[in-house]
Amino acid sequence: MARRFDTGTGGGRLVIASHNPGKVREIGELLQPWRVTVVSAGSLGLPEPEETGTTFVANAELKAHAAAQASGLPALADDSGLEVAALGGAPGVYSARWGGPAKDFAHAMAEVERRMAGAADRSARFVCALTLAWPDGHAETFLGTVDGTLVFPPRGASGFGYDPIFRPLGADRTFAEMDPESKHRISHRADAFRRLVATCFAGGAGG
């Protein structure tokens, strides 16, 4: 049976198991309607565990369990990335690593473009695995996806990661050209988050 996150009166504390400011900000925005006090793993000084999983789910669960154990609080971890059809699904779980030690996504996007040279198929999708873990070891995991097309050169200054080269199907703007509210309606992270809220958050928003 699924476990629900107890928001409590006045708000429960939830650790966002990430040191990525863009990801922490986006998850925090998605949680705004709920009585949740969000703290990041970075602000708590928690170490970043090595992402040794070969799937998004494995890495999300690894990070959530590590943060929950280290903090003694429920922790929400995200593992997400870009899967490019012409590259056989790469960069996939290695999306962040394509940016090198500095996690330079301008470099990562240029690398995607370089490897796709001559490819007619520009279809891609973003995948997100969200894991909510408790200090006692229990966890709930949810997957979300969004399909789209890659565009070059990168466009837009909002968002983070590969957002400037990803245009979701049916849209004329990249994620980086959208305001946060528009992106949150259709993103892979929002898709996974809707599943998490339906299962793990009792009552309605703010209730």
Residue 79 known to be catalytic: yes
User: Of the listed 79, 136, 147, 163, which one is catalytic?
Assistant: 79
How many angstroms separate the CA atoms of 31 and 124, rounded?
27
3-state secondary structure the chain: CCCCECCCCCCEEEEECCCCHHHHHHHHHHHCCCCEEEEECCCCCCCCCCCCCCCHHHHHHHHHHHHHHHHCCCEEEEEEEEEEHHHCCCEHHHCHHHHCCCCCHHHHHHHHHHHCCCCCCCEEEEEEEEEEECCCCCEEEEEEEEEEEECCCCCCCCCCCCHHHEEECCCCCCHHHCCHHHHHHHCHHHHHHHHHHHHHECCCCCC
Neighbours of 205 (CB within 10 A): 11
Q: How far apart are the first and last CA of the chain?
A: 22
Active site residues: 79
